[in-house]
């Protein structure tokens, strides 16, 4: 055995923590350190042990009362992705649901569209050149204050099936890194540029002055759970400040591979018509799978403005 291998046995460097969800759990009000499946106002069925849950027995077409809202916010902090089936919502009900979490966000690409600035149309047909979100990303991280949550209401699913959305747990993505890598990343910031997806991938014409471009910490702290999050995504993040270009590309490429190829990070939402899914952009990424060409899929999304992402140093 080579001396380096003796000094650094595989068990020291390669093993992931057995219970990564619990290992970093801070004692903070609002998040008990483990998820519960017991809420007074509705039933809940987890999609995976750590990410995503279906909520039953809650009608979102009527306003929620205070007790329901408190449970909803707790379930959102616990599960990060919440799926509501068989909801019949008009736009006002959809927006009211978004406003339970904050002010509504206007998408940068909506500047060129007529219609409701609070609603982002998510529509793919046989004529589409692309489908929005077909790659791992967090919504609109090019904004100085990116949306904390998005709520997508799908009313038309492809007749052949498909069109699922994958989600990744970015708490766990951080927790599965080695302590040395966690420590290194915590001191870094990265550039998130709207031109990368909106011009580079979607070929849209930018507004005067261009799409937003902002910097955020590479590791953020979720404002409600206090947990650390790996906060770079392949759609918007273009480079890590302070590193050489090749270093930045190699490191980002490795992190994107980690996010895309670690199955235990992932949950999958299979849509049915009249499903609303709410996700937390502060601690998840998602990927809309375009596997249904030439069939169609239609939905509308509202997003909610959050706070500027905060790093480990505050």
Pairing mode, strands 53-56 and 275-280: unpaired
Instruction: Give the single-character DSSP code of 26.
Output: -
CB-CB contact of 6 with 12 (8 Å)? no
User: Looking at beta carbons only, is 177 or 269 nearer to ligand SIN?
Assistant: 269
| Least separation in angstroms between CB 288 and ligand SIN | 3
Cα 75 from Cα 29, distance rounded (Å): 14
Cα 36 from Cα 46, distance rounded (Å): 10
Among 51, 83, 119, 122, binds ligand SIN (CB under 6 A): 122
The yes-or-no answer on residue 137 being catalytic is yes
User: Looking at beta carbons only, is 20 or 133 nearer to ligand SIN?
Assistant: 133
The yes-or-no answer on residue 139 being catalytic is yes
**Can you give the length of the chain in residues?**
314
Among 138, 165, 225, 233, binds ligand SIN (CB under 6 A): 165
The yes-or-no answer on residue 286 being catalytic is yes
Element spanning 303, H or E: strand 297-305
Cα 220 from Cα 283, distance rounded (Å): 9
Contact between 132 and ligand SIN by CB under 6 A: the answer reads yes
Contact region with ligand SIN (CB under 6 A), list: 41-49, 60-68, 106-114, 131-139? 131-139
| Least separation in angstroms between CB 286 and ligand SIN | 6
Establish how many alpha carbons lie within 13 A of residue 54's alpha carbon, considering only the half-sphere containing its beta carbon. 13
Contact region with ligand SIN (CB under 6 A), list: 132-140, 179-187, 203-211, 257-265? 132-140
The yes-or-no answer on residue 59 being catalytic is no
Q: Which residue's C-beta sits nearest to ligand SIN?
A: 133
Q: Which residues contact 228 (CB under 8 A, 6 or more apart)?
A: 24, 171, 174, 175, 182, 186, 219, 220, 221, 222, 312
Instruction: Give the single-character DSSP code of 126.
Output: T
Closest by CA to 240, choosing from 198, 46, 232, is: 232
Contact between 288 and ligand SIN by CB under 6 A: the answer reads yes
Phi, psi (deg, nearest 5) at residue 287: -150, 115
| Least separation in angstroms between CB 122 and ligand SIN | 5
Contact between 98 and ligand SIN by CB under 6 A: the answer reads no
CB-CB contact of 60 with 87 (8 Å)? yes
- At residue 256, the 3 state secondary structure works out as helix
Instruction: Give the single-character DSSP code of 207.
Output: P
Among 25, 152, 168, 221, binds ligand SIN (CB under 6 A): 152
| Least separation in angstroms between CB 228 and ligand SIN | 24
| Tokens 């930018």 belong to residue | 206
Site string for ligand SIN, 228-267 (x = CB under 6 A): ----------------------------------------
Contact between 106 and ligand SIN by CB under 6 A: the answer reads no
Contact between 301 and ligand SIN by CB under 6 A: the answer reads yes
Give the active site residues: 137, 139, 286, 301
Query: Which parts of this chain interact with ligand SIN (CB under 6 A)?
Result: 122, 132-133, 139, 150, 152, 165, 286, 288, 301
């Amino acid at each position: 055995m080579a001396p380096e291998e003796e000094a650094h046995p595989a068990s020291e460097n390669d093993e992931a923590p057995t219970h990564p969800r619990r290992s970093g759990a801070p004692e903070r009000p609002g998040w008990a350190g483990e998820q519960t499946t017991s809420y007074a106002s509705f039933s809940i069925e987890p999609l995976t042990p750590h990410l995503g849950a279906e909520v039953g027995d809650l009608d979102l077409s009527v306003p929620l009362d205070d007790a329901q809202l408190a449970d909803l916010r707790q379930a959102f902090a616990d599960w990060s992705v919440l799926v509501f089936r068989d909801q019949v919502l008009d736009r006002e009900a959809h927006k009211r649901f978004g406003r339970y979490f904050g002010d509504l966000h206007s998408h940068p690409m909506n500047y060129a569209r007529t219609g409701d600035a609070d609603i982002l149309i998510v529509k793919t047909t046989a004529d589409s050149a692309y489908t929005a979100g077909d790659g791992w990303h967090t919504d609109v991280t090019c904004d100085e204050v990116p949306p904390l949550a998005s709520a997508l209401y799908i009313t038309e699913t492809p007749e052949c099936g498909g069109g699922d959305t994958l989600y990744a747990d970015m708490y766990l993505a951080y927790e599965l890194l080695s302590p040395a890598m966690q420590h290194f990343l915590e001191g870094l910031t990265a550039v998130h540029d709207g031109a990368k997806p909106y011009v580079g991938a979607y070929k849209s014409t930018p507004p005067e002055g261009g799409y937003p471009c902002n910097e955020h910490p590479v590791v953020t702290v979720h404002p409600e759970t206090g947990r650390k999050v790996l906060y770079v995504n392949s759609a918007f993040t273009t480079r890590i400040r302070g590193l050489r270009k090749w270093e930045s590309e190699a490191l980002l490429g490795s992190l994107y591979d980690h996010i895309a190829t670690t199955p235990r990070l992932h949950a999958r939402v299979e849509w049915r018509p009249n499903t609303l899914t709410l996700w937390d952009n502060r601690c998840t990424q998602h990927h809309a799978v375009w596997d249904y060409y030439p069939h169609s899929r239609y939905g509308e999304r509202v997003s909610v403005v959050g706070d500027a992402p905060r790093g480990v140093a505050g």
